[in-house]
Amino acid sequence: MDAQRLRGLGRTALNVLVSLAIVLILWVVALKVLDVSSYIGKGPLDVWEYLMLEEDAAQNRAGLLSALGRTMADAAIGFVCGLVVAVAIATLFTLFRGVEHAMMPMAMLLRSVPLVAMAPIIILVFGRETAAVGAMGGIVVLFPALVTIVMGLRSASPAMQDVVTVFGGSKFSAFRKVALPSSLPAFFTALRISIPGALTGALLAEWLATGRGIGYEIISSVSRARYDAVWAAVVAVTLSSLVLYGVVTVIENAVMRRMGTKA
């Protein structure tokens, strides 16, 4: 591994650690400023004790990791569904402007409806299993990713596209050889934006539909006044989001460096 790659990994790790430190500071300060009861509001030390020091710490960790694994799988389903649909629609919007004029108003109208309000219809149509998870997560991921990817595809140089056309290339050839490479930075931005969205969609699906994973565990723990478990679950999801964000950044740096472009 060369020195440049090591420096990139180091910067990414440092950014994740700084973000984590900021979250911890805001967490502690918010509990103090808002004067939250210690019975409900648990700090970092309380979560550490719940997961590491209590008599049932091993059982607590096992339950949390099991629920987190389920949530990460659900988030991955929503992430893939939303991103694939976003890329497909963005491609259609870029190649056929008439499709965008026809579909974008409908997409914006759908986006304006809260997912909680749409959940009963989604459950009726898709049931309470994997299909519902994909639908809810996909809806959360789709719209921010779609807008970002469309902007990236349209950032391609018109002059470069004209060069492809002059040499006999089709509209699709110009799209493949010019627009797609130019959109890579926007695509990775869409990936980073989609990570918390996919997790949010998974949590909502688990709460409203499937009855499993971190989303259900949080609601279940609140109803039983197990606030240590609630805060531990929130910490687990937050850490997972930060780590995944860092992973995407590392991949982006590697791809951009391979293409000779600074990320």
Q: How many CB atoms lie within 10 A of CB 41?
A: 16
What's the CA gap between 216 and 238, in Å, rounded? 16
Question: What whole-number percentage of the chain has pLDDT above 70?
Answer: 96
Closest of 147, 148, 182, 152 to residue 164, by C-alpha: 182
Q: Quick: pLDDT tens for 144-185.
A: 898 899 888 888 777 777 777 777 777 777 777 888 888 888
Q: How many CB atoms lie within 10 A of CB 138?
A: 23
Please list the alpha-helical segments (H only) found in the chain: 3-33, 44-48, 57-95, 97-112, 115-126, 130-153, 158-166, 171-174, 180-182, 184-205, 213-223, 227-258
Does residue 60 or residue 103 have the better pLDDT?
Answer: 60
State phi, psi for 163 to the nearest 5 degrees: -60, -45
65 pLDDT above the threshold of 90: yes
Q: Quick: pLDDT tens for 208-253.
A: 888 888 999 999 998 888 999 999 999 999 999 988 988 888 888 8
Q: Quick: pLDDT tens for 2-17.
A: 666 677 677 777 877 8
CATH number of 3-258: 1.10.3720.10
